[in-house]
Amino acid sequence: MANKGLPVSSVVSVDVVMAPKAAAERDFGIALILGASNTIDAYERLRLYYDIDTVASDFGTEAPEYKMAVAYFSAEPSAAQCYIGRWVKTATSGLLKGRILGTAEQNIAAFKAINEGSFKVTVDGVEKSVMAINLSSVTNLNGVATIIDSALDTAASCVWDGTRFVIRSKTTGTESTVTGVTKTALSSLMGLDADTVAVGGMVAESLLNAVSELADMSSDWYGLLVAEEADDDDILEMADFISATSTSRIAGFTVKKTTVLDAQVENDLASRLKAKGNNRAFVQYSSASTAAAAAAFGRAFAVNFDGQNTTITLKFKQEPGIEPEVLTATQAKVLKDKNCNVFAQYSNDTAILQEGVMSGGWYFDERHGLDWLQNDVQTAVWNLLYTSTSKIPQTDAGIARIVTTIESRLEQAVTNGLVAPGVWNGDSFGALQSGDTLTKGYYVYAPPVATQSQADREARNSTVIQVAIKLAGAVHATDIIINVNR
């Protein structure tokens, strides 16, 4: 091979360094609807939905999960997505999920050719023979499942769920199992001979356990809605968990009991959550619907914090599909005193959601917005440290880069309407004194690195960075005086 000369790299060496992909911000517009329907088994636990049509296809239109999803997606504008999760409220059956069948594998002609099919399956540890299966007259895969279901008799059932065949034991609990389908022409066609998923039966679990399991499975969801009836004590226990977990979340509850309208009653759910000062719980009264809180979440979760003037207050908002409550002034005051929201009818033929508060007294938009801001600042500073191709030095200049990053995200909080200029009434720090006006709506202070302790320096810690922000708030009522002169 001919000598082409010396390599160019010996004089000009160029390396391409790709920075790591930055961490994504969390989405604060996704709810988790928790239900007990068998559509989602205890192994799968969680499904993501983008529209009500898919929910209806999976659950039907009578399931509690569907009814809550309708309220959630009916807001205008509405949230873009939600999860539906499984609560094992009662003991479940063991089941065997066949492999997902591709379009070609769902060709009914191949099944119709079976006129003497068979296979064996082990149900609850006992082998069951499925014999003399004639599929020559079936017209769809639901028909195939019906014939197999009949052959399984009292041992198990069989359904076609739209993508695969599922065999379910007719017992429940930890001894309930379906395993070991033998390989035959019929079981191969049904996708039961290989690549199956066996799900063992379970005993009933508490509401707290279900929420804890789903919190471990996904950090995506932000707002929890329970589609099943639950005891107040169980709700309170679960609400305590939501408040304490390190991943910021909120929970919404609808109360139908009229005891919440009685000022003398202090043990209703709204009163008990208020007494706990729970600012991660949202309660709404509705005499007709169990999904009123879902409608509120659907509207709130449409907020895009990356936009301009996009933040909202929940007060005055509409709840399509929720019947407004006709209240007396006394009843409205009782609900307000208990930090319980309501979609209320007014005498001018309008209805509004009021007051838009959490059980602990914070306004919903404060809770929602500050959770976004905490994550936004955290993610931005993480990405500064993580994606930098050189280190952030432990110097005043290095700390200034962190401060600049924080300020950029606080500026977005001003842009979206969460933060605004105003008078700072908190404690003084840095150059900020109580009573000063935050002209930008925020102030960020980092002390000089020279003031840092040796231990912190050796641990490579940043100096403590303090931030002051002024919330923009929202007008919920106004007094107007008209002076008349003749």
> What is the tens place of the pLDDT at every residue in 321-363?
999 999 999 999 999 999 999 999 999 999 999 999 999 999 9
DSSP letter for 13, please: -
SS3 state of residue 128: strand
> Residue 2's pLDDT is what?
64
Structure tokens at 310: 């996009």
Structure tokens at 77: 């504008």
Distance CA 249, CA 375 (A): 12
Average pLDDT over every residue of 167-185: 93
Structure tokens at 371: 């959770």
> Residue 18's pLDDT is what?
75
Distance CA 82, CA 35 (A): 13
Q: Which residue has the tokens 């006992």?
A: 126
In 321-433 the beta strands, taken as DSSP E runs, fall at 341-345, 351-354, 422-423
- Contacts with 295 (C-beta within 8 Å, 6 or more apart), sequence order: 71, 72, 74, 75, 319, 320, 321, 322, 343
- Please answer whether residues 410 and 441 qualify as being in contact, where contact means their C-beta atoms are separated by less than 8 angstroms: yes
Phi, psi of 288 (to 5 degrees): -115, -25
- H or E, element range at 255: strand 250-255
CA-closest candidate to residue 271, choices 228, 231, 314, 236: 236
Name residue 226's beta-bridge partners.
34
**Which tens digit of pLDDT belongs to each residue from 427-472?**
999 999 999 999 999 999 999 999 999 999 999 999 999 999 999 9
> Residue 180's pLDDT is what?
84
> Residue 1's pLDDT is what?
58
CA-closest candidate to residue 296, choices 8, 63, 31: 31
- Specify the long-range contacts of residues 423-427, CB closer than 8 Å, at least 24 apart: 423/470, 424/468, 424/470, 426/468
Strand pairing report for 81-86 and 46-49: antiparallel
Structure tokens at 315: 């007060």
**Which tens digit of pLDDT belongs to each residue from 5-37?**
888 877 888 878 777 888 888 899 999 999 999
- Please answer whether residues 42 and 202 qualify as being in contact, where contact means their C-beta atoms are separated by less than 8 angstroms: yes
Average pLDDT over every residue of 129-151: 94
Per-domain residue ranges of the chain: 30-87+205-365, 95-199, 392-486
Mean pLDDT, the chain, rounded, equals: 93
For 316, left (φ over 0), alpha (ψ -120 to 50), or beta?
Answer: left
CB burial of 295-308 (b: ≥16 within 10 Å; e: otherwise) equals: bbbbbbbbbebeee
Percent of the chain with pLDDT over 70: 99
Kindly report the number of other CB atoms within 10 A of residue 58's CB atom: 18
CA-closest candidate to residue 147, choices 129, 135, 139, 163: 135
Q: Is residue 309 exposed (0-12), middle (13-18) or buried (19+ Cβ within 10 Å)?
A: exposed
Q: Which residue has the tokens 């709204």?
A: 270
**Which tens digit of pLDDT belongs to each residue from 111-137?**
999 999 999 999 999 999 999 999 999
